Amino acid sequence: MRHSKKLAPLIVAVVVTVILSPVSLKAADPIETAGVGVGLTAGNAIFVPMKAISVGLGLIFGGLSFVLSGGNADLTKQIWSDVTEGPYVITPELARMAVGERPELEKKAVGAVREPPLPQ
């Protein structure tokens, strides 16, 4: 029974992560879809609690900065805007931006002609 009490916060975090995870995963085959789902769930299981801790501490220390700086509201607002800025969950689009362009992940059907990407 003692282990169930220790696992309760982890179970809650996983359930919240699964609920907040995007429903539509774009992938070519079931294995890739499963991999994307597992990666997003695992990433969010770590990222979401860390983001919550970061926001909580940022709000506390932002308020403390107001007191210690003699009432500098601009400093406090800047700290609060920095820590409360998103993203709050890892999405497939965010993960793709973090990985960058990976041509080997963009394979088309065998025999399909693929044009090179346009320069940006």
Range of the domain at 90: 46-97
With respect to residue 54, please indicate whether it lies within any of the assigned structural domains. yes
81 φ, ψ to 5°?
-70, -35
With respect to residue 102, please indicate whether it lies within any of the assigned structural domains. no
Q: Helix, strand, or coil here: 24? A: coil
Q: How far apart are CA 108 and CA 3, in angstroms?
A: 47
Question: How many domains would you assign to the chain?
Answer: 1
The phi-psi region of residue 16 (left if phi > 0; otherwise alpha if psi is between -120 and 50; otherwise beta) is: alpha
Extract the tokens encoding 107. Answer: 């394979």
With respect to residue 2, please indicate whether it lies within any of the assigned structural domains. no
Q: How far apart are CA 56 and CA 71, in angstroms?
A: 20
State pTM to two decimals.
Answer: 0.57
With respect to residue 69, please indicate whether it lies within any of the assigned structural domains. yes
pLDDT tens per residue, range 9-56: 777 777 777 676 665 555 567 887 788 888 899 999 999 999 999 999
Extract the tokens encoding 38. Answer: 């597992």
pLDDT tens per residue, range 59-90: 999 999 999 999 999 999 999 999 999 898 98
With respect to residue 64, please indicate whether it lies within any of the assigned structural domains. yes
